[in-house]
Amino acid sequence: MTNEGVKLPRVTNRKIADIFNEIADLLDIDGDNPFKVRAYRNAARTILGYPREMADLVEEGFDLTTLRGIGKELAKKITEIVRTGKLVYLEKLKKTHPPQLEELLKIPGLGPGRVRLLHELLRINSLEDLENALREGKLKKVPGFGPKLIAKIENGIQTRRYEAHRFKLSEALPVAEWIVKILKKTKGAIHVEIAGSLRRRKETVHDIDLVAACEEINDTMVYFLNLPKIQKIVMKGTTRSTILLENGMSVDLRVVSTESFGATLHHFTGSKAHNITLRKMAVEKGMKINEYGIWQGKKRIGGDKEEDIYNLFGMQYIEPEMRENRGEIALAQDHQLPTLITRADIKGDLHIHTTYSDGLASIEEMALQAKRLGYEYIAITDHTEHLKVAHGMDEKRARKQLEEIDVLNEKLDGITILKAAEIDILEDGSLDMPDSILEALDLTVCSVHTRFNLSLRKQTERILKAMENPHFTILAHPTGRLIGLREPYDIDMEAVMRQAKARGCILELNAQPDRLDLNDIHSKMAKEMGIRIAISTDAHSLNDLELMRYGIWQARRGWIEKADVINTLPLTALQKLFREMKG
DNA sequence: GCCGTTTTCGGCCCGACTGTTTTCAGTCG
């Protein structure tokens, strides 16, 4: 095999963004030009959201200043970080600041202004200093620090780990839906909707944002503040309140009049970067967008519906999942937005486990459940021998399964069971199943389950080699990450995608809420490279089959359309595709 | 520090809520 495209460990976009955010924190504490601070944060966001690695762009001599929010200075800094692994400017800044000062910014109630004040007046340089000062009652002497703020800071120190926690989409969404259902029944409530990153279906969310349109006389806010399972009321107002639930989730509710609902929903759906871009565009037209509507001078000219905002610029409506300022606004202006995939486009599920390995239901039960969901086909993909913990199948049991599938296909109407397996990619890149079985399968779903800690080079070579196997169909959960639990393993995703493109392999978007792998950025990248994906649930039980919606949402965040996804194909077309892939 | 049919200066999204103060700065989203 060839090593072409496999690179040595390199600076990731995450690292560059972290450096820029750290600079922003330090400048902020210094009281430097707030717009300069914002420029660093904007650039960090642009870099994090960019589908390609800055390291590669630098290598290719790409002009970084063409990226939004990256000018001459920041392009130079990115290049320096990529080339040297560090940034002299940050090193210098760090020298003039106590090393743990930024930690203080994470305490609720402490922003750059107050951190600066504490540093200057009380020489507080760390969390420890802050705790000592609190104990000694020194904070009372600082102007602007009253009893309530001090209590908030004390409280914040204790719970800061809790506050920093992010929740998976699948954890937050049911809670939000539960609250929406309650609030919709309150007197005077006309609309109640989920907003924020939850509405954009981000894989993890920091809190739950809700927006309600109510009549002037309503008891929506009162009910909100009296929901069961409230740990504490963080903030209470007539139009806006925040509660903290017992499970640690923070929930915001905004109550507005019906005529403002569209503007408010849009405002609190975000993303921030998306909204800022639209607001700037409004300003250029001599108008203003705020959370209450669209304004020309003092005159309100729209905002009842979200569509008003997009109509203002003659652009297409942008679905919440796309509102990340990753180029969607320009596309909407040109009326070139993709038609995002929907759950209804899905005709089958290509990653399903049964009792043959670590699944909980039989092949037949899974097939019948899939039929109830309206599918035409499923692929049964039990684990292979190497994966002992999942009771992987040896050759004998694999053969038995194939026979059972033949029998079931004879017996069942309206659903077709495809023969497959989730085949371990071994450390040397070989597939954990003899060719004699591979040949009998309609497709293979291949994945890494061991040796997650190989070097970037070895892990990438392992996968590239596996893809050379003519029986390789789909690369399952391509980065192996478990959200909040396990980092993705080190692979050169661009090299993997180039190989997938060259070999005609499919990449999976695994719909398990703790995987969602490919992520949004990788999905978009695959689409741009012309690689098709399979959105699959990796179901281990009957209920798991309904996780498809999480995969669909992630795909929509990656701008994926029906045509990009192979399991939107009708059965005959899909079978034809698999036959062609086998050559 | 970025950006540009108001291009190389002078803008930069915008408002609610809190706490502390008495008119506002800081924080937050």
Exposure on the CB side of residue A84, measured as CA atoms within 13 A: 12
CA of A141 to C1' of B20 (A): 13
| Contact by Cβ (8 Å): A559, A337 | no
Spatial strand order of the sheet with A445-447 comes to: A422-424, A445-447, A474-475, A506-510, A533-536
Confidence grade of residue A4 (pLDDT, cut at 50, 70, 90):
very low
Tokens, residue A309 = 């905002």
Residue A240, Cα to own-chain centre: how many angstroms? 27
Q: How far apart are CA A515 and CA A512, in angstroms?
A: 5
On the question of a cis peptide bond just before residue A271, with omega within 30 degrees of 0, the verdict is: yes
CATH code of the domain made up of A13-163: 1.10.150.110
Domain boundaries, chain A: 13-163, 168-333, 343-582
For nucleotide B16, give the residue with the nearest CA to its C1'.
Answer: A240
- The overall average pLDDT reported for chain A is 89
> What nucleotide is nearest A140 when CA is compared to C1'?
B20
Q: Residue A255, CA: closest nucleotide via C1'?
A: B16
CB atoms near residue A44 (< 10 Å):
23
Q: What is the pLDDT of residue A576?
A: 96
Find the nucleotide nearest A73 (Cα to C1′). Answer: B1
Q: Which residues pair with A200 in a beta bridge?
A: none
For residues A127 and A103, the answer to whether their CB atoms sit within 8 Å is: yes
Residue A582 pLDDT > 70: yes
Provide the CA A232 to C1' B16 distance, Å, integer: 20
Q: Is the dihedral of CA A346, A348, A352, A355 positive or negative?
A: positive
Strand nucleotide closest to residue A206 (CA to C1'): B29
- pLDDT tens-digit series, residues A365-422: 999 999 999 999 999 999 988 777 667 888 888 999 999 999 999 999 999 999 999 9
Measured CA to C1', the nucleotide nearest A254 is: B16
Residue with tokens 């600079």: A23
φ/ψ (deg, to 5) at A88: -60, -40
Tens digits of residue pLDDT in A197-227: 999 999 999 899 999 999 988 899 999 999 9
Protein residue closest via CA to C1' of B24: A144
| Residue recorded with tokens 């109830």 | A372
Give the Cα separation of A506 and A497 in Å (integer). Answer: 9
Average pLDDT over residues A97-108: 83
Q: How confident is the model at residue A243 (pLDDT cuts 50, 70, 90)?
A: very high
Cα separation, A309 vs A280, in Å, equals: 12
Cβ atoms of A363 and A417 within 8 Å: the answer is: yes
Residue A382 tokens, joined: 């039990």
At residue A212, the pLDDT reads: 95
Provide mean pLDDT across the span A299-311.
90
Nearest nt to the A23 alpha carbon by C1': B1
User: In Å, what is the separation between the CA of A290 and the C1' of B15?
Assistant: 8
Q: What's the rounded mean pLDDT across residues A92-96? A: 89
Rounded to whole angstroms, how far apart are CA atoms A208 and A203? 13
Domain A343-582 has CATH 1.25.40.80: no
Q: In the predicted model, is pLDDT for residue A164 greater than 70?
A: no
Confidence band of A565 (pLDDT split at 50, 70, 90): very high
Residue whose Cα is closest to the C1' of B4: A284
Tell me, yes or no, if the two domains A168-333 and A343-582 fold the same way.
no
Does A89 score more than 80 pLDDT? yes
Region A317-323 average pLDDT: 95
What's the CA angle centered on A478, arms A472 and A481, to 5 degrees?
A: 150
Q: Which protein residue lies nearest to nucleotide B21, measured between its Cα and the C1' atom? A: A144
CA of A437 to C1' of B4 (A): 63
- The amino acid sitting at A444 is T
Write out the two tokens for A96: 């003039």
Question: What is the mean pLDDT of the segment spanning A488-499?
Answer: 91
Find out if CATH 3.30.460.10 is the number for domain A168-333.
yes
Interatomic CA distance for residues A507 and A494, integer angstroms: 12
The CA distances from residue A335 to A311, A312, A341, A523, in Å, are 12, 14, 17, 22
3-state secondary structure A446-484: EECCCCCCCCHHHHHHHHHHHHHCCCCCEECCCCCCECC
E-strand stretches of A272-340: 288-290, 293-296, 299-302
Residues A118, A132 contacting (CB under 8 angstroms): no
Distance A395 CA to B3 C1' (A): 64
Nucleotides of B under 7 A from a protein CB: 1-3, 6, 11-21, 25-29
Count the alpha carbons within 13 Å of A314 in the hemisphere toward its beta carbon: 3
What's the start-to-end Cα distance of chain A, in Å?
A: 20
Is A259 within 8 Å of A293 (Cβ atoms)? yes
Span CA (A222) to C1' (B5), Å: 51
Q: Are strands A250-256 and A240-245 parallel, antiparallel or unpaired?
A: antiparallel
* pLDDT for the residue A316: 94
Q: Nearest nt to A64, CA vs C1'?
A: B2
Q: How far is the CA of A36 from the C1' of B18 (A)?
A: 27
| CA distances in angstroms from A559 to A23, A319, A512, listed in the order given | 32, 10, 19
The rounded distance, in Å, linking the Cα atoms of A264 and A417 is 47
pLDDT in tens, A7-65: 445 788 888 988 998 999 899 888 888 888 889 988 888 887 677 889 989 988 899 99
A32 CA to B8 C1', in Å? Answer: 22
Residue A63, both tokens: 């002009």
Measure, in angstroms, how far nucleotide B21 C1' is from residue A116 CA: 21
If we measure between CA atoms, which residue out of A45, A46, A28 comes closest to residue A36? A28
**At A108, is the pLDDT very low, low, confident or very high (cuts 50, 70, 90)?**
confident
Note the CA–C1' distance, A26 to B27, in angstroms.
17
Among protein residues, the one whose C-alpha sits closest to the C1' atom of B13 is: A276
Q: Do the strands A288-290 and A250-256 form a parallel or antiparallel pair, or are they unpaired? A: unpaired
- pLDDT, tens digit, for every residue of A501-524? 999 999 999 999 989 999 999 999
Total number of residues shown for chain A: 583
Residue A80, pLDDT above cutoff 90 = yes
Model pLDDT for residues A531-562, shown as the tens digit of each residue: 999 999 999 888 889 999 999 999 999 999 99
Pairing of strands A416-419, A299-302: unpaired
- Please give the distance of CA A143 from its chain centroid, rounded to a whole number: 41
Q: What is the Cα–Cα distance from A308 to A360, expressed in whole angstroms?
A: 49
**DSSP characters over A396-434:** HHHHHHHHHHHHHHHH-SS-EEEE--EEEB-TTS-BSS-
Give the dihedral of Cα atoms A386, A391, A395, A397; nearest 10 deg.
180
Output the distance from A20 CA to B2 C1' rounded to whole Å.
14
> CA(A114)–C1'(B25) in Å?
10
Q: Which residue is nearest to nucleotide B20 (CA to C1')?
A: A144
Higher-scoring residue by pLDDT: A484, A220: A220
Question: What average pLDDT score do residues A466-486 get?
Answer: 90
Nucleotide nearest to A113 (CA to C1'): B26
Instruction: Report d(CA A332, CA A196) in Å as an integer.
Output: 21
Give the pLDDT confidence of A114-159 residue by residue, as tens digits.
888 888 888 888 888 888 888 888 888 888 888 888 888 887 777 6
